[in-house]
């Protein structure tokens, strides 16, 4: 007994995620957002409430997007352990230094834009980071089982170190450091890892 919606909420949210990911929160105006989502002001506020709420939903959606069937799920396929991790890093650096519209991890952008001062953003980001870290940690444990890493290394620290390198190189790329330099710095990390055994 009411007028049906003319757009798909999930799809609109995906578009919103894409814009926020690409441009950040503050730098995305409502007009940008509406244009990307393909809806108009009234529908937007009716369905999503506010720019902020949409942003928070986009963050958790990103988390799902990355881990469920996304890039992180490839860690268990192919050659597991260090090779898979290295492949993931290379793919990440390629996306960061390439000319795709969406560059780098949404969470790094969100972290830096809010600098931990927004509790809700922080919580959403931290939840996503935890999921990613867990997946990487699992890969490192596989690497241990495969004998690619010695059994005494702390897998949690190692996982965090790997993520930090990826994120750090991401920021370096945005600072203007050339792609090849970033690639060889990443390679250096894996060379060091391999030499542990």
Contacting residues toward a copy of itself, per CB under 8 A: 24, 26-27, 103, 107-109, 111-116, 122-123, 125-126, 129, 153-154, 156-158, 160-161, 163-177, 181-182, 184-189, 192-193, 195-196
Residue 175 binds which one of a copy of itself, DNA, none, with CB within 5 to 8 A depending on kind? a copy of itself
Residue 3 binds which one of a copy of itself, DNA, none, with CB within 5 to 8 A depending on kind? DNA
Q: How far is CA 68 from the centre of its chain?
A: 12
Which residue from 119, 106, 6, 94 is spatially nearest to 59, judged by alpha carbons?
106
Q: Which stretch binds DNA (CB under 7 A): 35-43, 134-142, 165-173, 178-186?
A: 35-43
Which residue from 152, 57, 67 is spatially nearest to 110, judged by alpha carbons?
57
Q: Indicate whether 31 belongs to the interface with DNA (CB under 7 A).
A: yes
Q: Indicate whether 11 belongs to the interface with DNA (CB under 7 A).
A: no
Structure tokens at 113: 């834009």
> By CB under 7 A, what part of segment 138-167 binds DNA?
none
Helix pair angle (106-114, 9-23), 10° resolution:
60
Structure tokens at 93: 């650096």
Give 39 or 163: the residue with its C-beta nearer to a copy of itself: 163
d(CA 91, CA 71): 9
d(CA 92, CA 94): 5
Q: Indicate whether 28 belongs to the interface with DNA (CB under 7 A).
A: yes
Q: Which stretch binds DNA (CB under 7 A): 43-51, 68-76, 111-119, 152-160?
A: 43-51
Which residue from 73, 68, 76 is spatially nearest to 139, judged by alpha carbons?
76
Q: Are 81 and 142 in contact (CB under 8 A)?
A: yes
Q: Indicate whether 120 belongs to the interface with DNA (CB under 7 A).
A: no
Least separation in angstroms between residue 171's CB and a copy of itself is 5
- Interface positions with DNA (CB under 7 A): 1-7, 28-31, 39-43, 45-47, 50-52
């Amino acid at each position: 007994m009411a007028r049906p919606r003319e757009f798909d909420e999930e799809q609109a949210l995906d578009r919103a995620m894409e814009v926020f990911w690409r441009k950040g929160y503050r730098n995305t105006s409502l007009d940008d957002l509406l244009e990307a989502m393909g809806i108009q002001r009234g529908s937007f506020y009716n369905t999503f409430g506010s720019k902020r709420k949409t942003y928070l939903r986009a963050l958790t959606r990103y988390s799902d997007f990355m881990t469920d069937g996304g890039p992180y799920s490839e860690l268990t396929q192919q050659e597991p352990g260090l090779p898979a991790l290295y492949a993931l890093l290379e793919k990440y650096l390629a996306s960061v230094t390439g000319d795709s519209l969406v560059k780098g991890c949404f969470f790094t952008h969100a972290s830096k834009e809010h600098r931990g001062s927004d509790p809700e953003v922080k919580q959403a980001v931290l939840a996503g980071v935890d999921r990613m870290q867990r997946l990487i940690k699992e890969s490192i444990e596989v690497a241990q089982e495969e004998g690619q890493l010695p059994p005494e290394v702390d897998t949690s620290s190692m996982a965090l170190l790997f993520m930090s390198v990826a994120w750090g190189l991401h920021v370096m790329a945005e600072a203007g450091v050339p792609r090849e330099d970033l690639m060889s710095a990443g390679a250096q990390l894996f060379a060091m890892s391999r030499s542990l055994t």
